Every structure is written in C-alpha cells, then in structure tokens.
Structure 1
Amino acid sequence: MKVLMFGWEFPPHISGGLGTACYGLTKGLAGLKNIDVLFVVPKMFGDEDQSIIKLKGANTVPVSKTQIEFEGTQKKMETIEIKSDIVPYLSEEDFWELKKKRFPAKTRFIQTDNGFKINFSGKYGDGLIEEIKNYALVAELIATENTFDVIHSHDWLTYPAGIAAKNKTGKPLIIHVHATEFDRSGGNINPVVYSIEREGMEMADKIIAVSNLTRNTIIEKYYIPPEKIEIVYNAVDSSPRKHNLNFRKNENEKIVTFLGRITMQKGPEYFVEAAYLVLKKMENVRFVMAGSGDKMTTMIKRVAELGIADKFHFTGFLKEDAVAEMFRLSDVCVMPSVSEPFGIVPLEAMQAGVPVIISNQSGVSEILDHAIKIDFWDTYAMADSIYGLLKYPSMSKHLKKAGKIEAGKMKWDNSAQQVSKIYRDVLIKSNVKV
C-alpha cells in the first residue's frame, strides 16, 4: 500500500508537537510491511533525516509558471507557459485585455524562480494562507506524477493539498486533526481557518482525531457525523536523546519546567501564578519557561510584577538536544494547557524520568494514570501539586518510576498499526484491493 502524506514541518525544523507527531507516526508506518509512505512538506532544508522516510519538498517541484517585473514601471506581469499567439511590442493594456480573453476568470497566477519552482518559507508567518494555496497547487502536480492508494493530510495547513490530490486522482482522503481553531484561539476563531478545517473534514473519507476531546470538538463545532471519526492517540519516540552532561545544577536546588509554545492555548500565565505561590513557601526552587510565542513578553512583565524574576528563567525555543538537557535538569514538568488536543511533552518528560502535572483539559489526560491532573485555572491546586512533588521524595520517586514505565508502553508502532487499519478499511469501502 502506498500513502501520499502531506505535512507542514519535519524535524529538525519544527515549532511544536505537530512535526514531532508526524515524524513519529511516519517512522512507525515505515516499520510495517507493505506500507510505503511519501511524506511531502512545503520546504525541504536539506538536513532532514531521510534514512527511513521518503521526503519530498514542494519547493523542489517545477510548476512551469513565472512572474516578470517590468523595469521602470515596476508593474508585474504574470504569465503561464503555454503556446501563445502574443506578438512582441503589444502595449501593457493590450496584453491584459488579451489575457482576459485567453484564460478563465478563476485562473491563478503565481510567482516562481527561474526553475519554475515556488519559494515556500515552510513557516507560519505573513502570507501563510497564500502558501497553503500554493502548496495545494503543487500537491495536485505531485499527485499526478506519483502512484499511491490513499492520501493522508496532517492538520488544517495541508487539508487543501489533500483535497486537491483527491479531486485530481479520486483516491480516498484521510485527514489527521492534531488541533482545531477552537483549541488555538480559545473560541475567538478565525473564520478563514475554520472554513478550511471544515471543508477538509467534509471532504475526508475518514478523520483521525488525536483524542476523545478532539473528537467531541469535531462533532460539536464542525457538525461531522461521529461514525466518520476514529481516535488514534499519539505516542513518544523511544530513541535515546543526547544531552550535555557537563552542565550541573546546585545540589539542593529544584527546577520546575514549562515546555511549549508560550501562547494562550498552553496556559503559561497559570504556570507563572502557581510559581509565585510556590515561591512564597520554598526558596530552593527555580522555574523555567522553555519555548517562544506571542505571550512571552506578557509573561516576562508579569514575572517582574510579582517580584520573582530572580527565580524565573525564559530560555526561548529549545532544539532537541537542549530539550533532553532541560528534562535531565528538571524535577517537575507542568503542562497547564487551556485546550490541548493531546500533548506529547508530558510523555517525553515521563520517559526521561520526570514526574508531570497536566491539565484535565488535555487529550493525554485520557490515557495517563501516573500523572497529577488539575484544572488549568486552579493555580492553587497546581502550586500544591508542585510543592508536594518537591517536598515529598517518596511521591516524586513513585511517579518517576511508574511514569517512565507507562510512557514506555506508548509506542508509535502501535499508533501506526491503528492508522494502517484505517487505511485498509477506507480502501475496502472504496472497493480497492489491498
């Protein structure tokens, strides 16, 4: 069985859990017999690990379209490579009039480089929607040029690409919902993003949700029939991580860590308030907020207002080796997410032998037994849990040992087996031999 899979990021160029989850799942699928995955991203940087996974960058695919800029006027003329009866020396007005006659009103014109390739950034900044549209255009070309049985699109950024591939080939489409706009925005949704998500869900032959929490959101907010949705929980990569063993902390000092994007969704403000409460009772503890995001400046200001800046540290975004080092130094890891479809960080922390505190508003709380669970808004319960783990070694020791065993059972191989079954069920329903 051949799978055409669309993602938006791939290690080491990731900004959060999406890239980590895609990498883990594709590695798991690669280990199964008779499954061949071609994983497509908008941009390949050249340093990705392709030893197990076939990777293709949309930025490497020629689309035979270009954009020309007139010197002097600085006005842009977009063209598409076709047989043309246009003669030299036409005025600009005549050209545009002729173009309107030659091409349908919905014809799209895009800018490429000299090799007719689109220069994707592969990031999440300005021009994201335009990149998503261009990605879908290239996805159609990739679908035409490759043989496959099923299409798998990860998160809303790639749904248009999956739809384009399905429309071109008629192959069944599976979309993987790692998060929804309701998780990211706290209910203040972007209608453009919502419409992309909903179209993807409606066009999909099957939907994979990363938790029951996410499944319920899809049903209640996007009005999708429950029977269309399957739950496949994420897992954790069991590969050992390298870290810098030369760094040491003070013997009697404790470190409590928040690791993730510093955004509304992740609840960083509740971590700060809990830190303030703990520091009123304990002195030999430091709090670390590892990550980056749009609320970072606000958090720095709040830490200063509370007078705990000497005990609170901001590291910025951490790469894989630095994450391993952070876990090695941590005594407690806290994930106070307001709305977390799943949450891989607690599994990574447990695997590293760090006891975790997670919010009840997270998908991972559905499957973890050896983690302390609190409501994200209950900063007193969060502070009490942190204090208890730091003050009572027996509690910490138990969660370290039991948590590590529990996380060790959550393998991507198991998730891949479930996804493989979904592929086969969809193909059987589509009357395709597998």
Structure 2
Amino acid sequence: MKALMFGWEFPPHILGGLGTASYGLTKGMSECGNMDITFVIPKPWGDEDKSFAHIVGACNTPIAWRDVSWEQIRDRLGRYMDPQEYFNLRDHIYADFNYMHLNDLGCIEFSGRYPDNLLEEINNYSIVAGVIARTYPCDVIHSHDWLTYPAGIHAKQVTGKPLVIHVHATDFDRSRGNVNPTVYAIEKDGMNQADHIITVSNLTRKTVIEKYNIDPAKVTTVHNAVEPLSEEIKAINIPRNTKEKVVTFLGRITMQKGPEYFVEAAAQVLRKNNNVRFVMAGSGDMMNKMIRLAAQRNISDHFHFTGFLKGKQVYEMLKASDVYVMPSVSEPFGISPLEAMQVGVPSIISKQSGCAEILTNAIKTDYWDVDAMADAIYSIITYPAMYQQLKIEGKKEVDEIKWVYAGQKVIDIYNKVIYR
C-alpha cells in the first residue's frame, strides 16, 4: 500500500511533539509490512532517517520550469534527493507559477519552522503538493495537523484518492478557547474534506465532534506511543546529588502547558522541603513571566530555566530528575510523560491530557489543583516505596505502548477508506 503523507516536522529537527509523533507512527507503520510511505515536509535538512520512508522536501520541488543541468541539481540538492527526482517533479508542473517568488531552481523557499508568515507558507505548501501528488502514485493521502490540511485537500483533488487527516491538536487546545477564526476555518475545512479523521485521544475526538460538528462515525482515536530507547540513550549516566531532589517540567512554556501551576506547586513544596530543585526546561512566550513569578514567590534560588532542549539533552535532563510534571491545561496527548517513565522517572500528569486515558502508573491531578500537585510531588520525593513503585511499574507499562500497534490501527483505517 502506498501512502502519501504531509507533515511539518521530522526528527532530528523538531520544535515540538508533532515531529516526534509523525516519526514514531511512520516507523511503526513500516514495521507492520507492505507499506510504501512518501513523507513530505516543507524543508528537509538532509540528516533525516530515510530507512522507512521516502522524504520529499517541498522546498526542493520545482513549481516553475527552469533550464538546469543534472550536475547543477546534483551539486545543489544531492544531499536531499536523487537529481533524477527533481526532473521527475519538474515534468509534473501543472500551471505557470512564475509570478511567485521562486529561486533559480523554480522552487519556493520554506523556513521549516513556524514563521510570522505561517499562513503564507501553508498556502505555498498546498501549491507544491499539487506537483508532488502528480509525481508519486499513492493509494491514500495522510495529512498531519492543520498546517498540512490544505496540502492534503489539494492532493486529494488531484489524485481522487481518499484523504485521512490526523488531528494532533486543535486551536481550542493551543488557545485555551480563544480560537483564531482563520485557523479554525482551515481545521474545519480539513475535517469536512477528509474521508476519515484520526485523533490522538478521546479528549481530542470529543472536541472534533462537538466544536467542529463532525459525524462521530468519521472520527477514530489512535493513541500515540513512544519509541524504544536507543543504545546511546540507555548509556547516558547522570551523577546524582543524593541530598537534593530534582523535579522537572519539560515542554513549551506557553499557556497550553500550564507552567504557572508548576511554579505555584514548587513554591508549596519548598515550604515543606528545601532540598529540592525545580527545573523548567523549554522555551516559549511565557518564559519571562515564569521567571518573574518564581522571583515573586521567592524561590529563584531553587528554580532553574534551561532553555530549549533537544534530542539527547532531553534524556539527560530526564535521567537527572526524580519527578516529571506535566500540568497541561489542554493536552491532546502528551508524549513527554511516556519518555520520562521510560527512563524510570515517576510522572505527574494533568487529567486534562490525552495520555491520562492510557496511563495507569502515573499520578493524575487537575491542572488547576496546585495543592494536589504539590502533595504528589512531596509524596514521591519523601516516600521511597512510592517512588520505587511508580518508577518500576511505570517503566513496565510504557514499554508496552508501542508505535507498531498504533501503526496497525492507522493501516486498518486506510483499508477502510480505500475499500469502502
């Protein structure tokens, strides 16, 4: 079965959970066998894992004809694609896009990030999708998150193949209800045009049905999973300070993630036990506000801000931690607690997170219940039996949450829309 996937991020260059989930699911699907996946991203960097999916860069796809030689393409694009692929794509240009701002290869430049002109990049991505969909034969189209829905819709119009969209989050999650009407319109159009919708949790499924008026029969939950630890990650050994405990928040410092509740819980714990260090790992628009809040609570000498961590750094931070806390206000799924539990770190998660639907050996509190959160942190760092129970049983549980199982569920959905 051939699947044409549109994504926005792909490891090792990721800015959030979307890239991690896209990678894990794609790899899990390939392990199920009989899958040929072409994965499109706006801008590849050349060091992506291509062992289980063919990576295509929108930024390397010509949408206007240019008279270039094989040698020129080899020198410019050789680390991203076979030069012949460029010419195959060039053969499928379907309109005159010379009015657009293009480079000397007839391609649109993409940032590969979330720039100020994001809506323009989303539109450009959908234009490029027309060339890609004409070039790579497929049985089904799969669009990851709202940024790629217009590309998926265009690919469906070109090929006539069924479209599956994957809702990793909605704007209701990102904005605490203060929804951007333009984003909502893109999301709603994607949902209306899709043949089937995959959500990462029942929480998100409920939002899709109730807030976007989608037929429940059209929406299926496929919970995320976690990648097995590599030998490199297993080998990380962080010396521990036996006198001080470390409690960590790891994620974007934005209102969706509830960072202020973590700071308030930290202040409560430090009133009872001064031998604790709290770490807020990540970056985001609320970072300066959190630095000020820690100062106002007079806990700055026990509170650390690391900035954005990626790859190996994430696991180094987790392995240095005694407790992991995810106090998200609205978290469609939340892979980071699974990653923490994988390395034996007891986790506290909000009841408002999708992963709370599948995790048994994690402590669950309401995001706003700072007292309960502080009590949970204090209990884990104070009572060794509780710490050991959560550490051992948590790891055991998460080791059985595998992407290959999620991948098979997605393939079953593909079969349903292809052969209905």
TM-score of the two chains, using structure 1 as the length reference: 0.88
Deviations 1:311-334 (A, max 9, x none): 000011111100110111100000
Aligned-residue identity in percent = 59
Specify which of 396, 408, 426 is matched with residue 417 of structure 2. Answer: 426
Whether 1:134 aligns to 2:124 is: yes
Letter in 2 for 1:395: M
Deviations 1:106-165 (A, max 9, x none): x89421101101110011121100000000000111000111100000000000000000
The 5-angstrom pairing of residues 183-198 of structure 1 reads 183-198=173-188
Which runs of no fewer than 5 residues in structure 1 stay unpaired? 67-80, 82-102, 430-434
Q: Which residue of 2 aligns with 1:6?
A: 6
- 2:267 alignment partner, SS class: helix
Contact 1:178 1:210 in 2 (8 A): yes
Q: Which residue of 2 aligns with 1:376?
A: 367
State the superposition RMSD in angstroms: 1.7
Segment of structure 1 superposing worse, 324-333 or 242-251? 242-251
Q: Which residue of 2 aligns with 1:252?
A: 243
Give the Cα–Cα distance (whole angstroms) in 1 for the partners of residues 230 and 323 of structure 2: 20
Give the Cα–Cα distance (whole angstroms) in 2 for the partners of residues 130 and 109 of structure 1: 15
Contact 1:65 1:110 in 2 (8 A): no
- 1:242 alignment partner, SS class: helix
Q: Which residue of 2 aligns with 1:151?
A: 141
Q: 1:326 to 1:241 in 2, by over 3 A?
A: farther
Contact 1:330 1:354 in 2 (8 A): yes
Q: 1:193 to 1:65 in 2, by over 3 A?
A: farther
CA-CA distance at 1:352 after TM superposition: 0.7
Q: Which residue of 2 aligns with 1:410?
A: 401
Q: Which residue of 1 aligns with 2:78?
A: none
Which runs of no fewer than 5 residues in structure 2 stay unpaired? 67-89
Specify which of 124, 148, 162 is matched with residue 172 of structure 1. Answer: 162
Q: Which residue of 2 aligns with 1:59?
A: 59
Give the Cα–Cα distance (whole angstroms) in 2 for the partners of residues 150 and 399 of structure 1: 41
Give the Cα–Cα distance (whole angstroms) in 1 for the partners of residues 110 and 188 of structure 2: 25
Contact 2:10 2:23 in 1 (8 A): yes
Q: 1:303 to 1:282 in 2, by over 3 A?
A: same
Contact 2:144 2:168 in 1 (8 A): yes
- 2:166 alignment partner, SS class: strand
Deviations 1:262-284 (A, max 9, x none): 00000000000000000011111
Give the Cα–Cα distance (whole angstroms) in 2 for the partners of residues 229 and 108 of structure 1: 40
Q: 1:412 to 1:310 in 2, by over 3 A?
A: same
Specify which of 104, 108, 111 is matched with residue 101 of structure 2. Answer: 111
Q: 1:224 to 1:297 in 2, by over 3 A?
A: same
CA-CA distance at 1:21 after TM superposition: 0.2
Letter in 1 for 2:314: V
Give the Cα–Cα distance (whole angstroms) in 2 for the partners of residues 239 and 425 of structure 1: 33
Give the Cα–Cα distance (whole angstroms) in 1 for the partners of residues 32 and 386 of structure 2: 39
Give the Cα–Cα distance (whole angstroms) in 1 for the partners of residues 54 and 265 of structure 2: 44
Deviations 1:347-399 (A, max 9, x none): 11111100000000011101111110000001010000000000001001000
CA-CA distance at 1:65 after TM superposition: 7.0
Whether 1:265 aligns to 2:262 is: no
- 1:116 alignment partner, SS class: coil
Give the Cα–Cα distance (whole angstroms) in 2 for the partners of residues 405 and 38 of structure 1: 33
| Larger radius of gyration between Structure 1 and Structure 2 | 1
Deviations 1:88-120 (A, max 9, x none): xxxxxxxxxxxxxxx99xx89421101101110
Give the Cα–Cα distance (whole angstroms) in 2 for the partners of residues 227 and 218 of structure 1: 12
TM-score of the two chains, using structure 2 as the length reference: 0.91
Q: Which residue of 2 aligns with 1:78?
A: none
Q: Which residue of 1 aligns with 2:79?
A: none
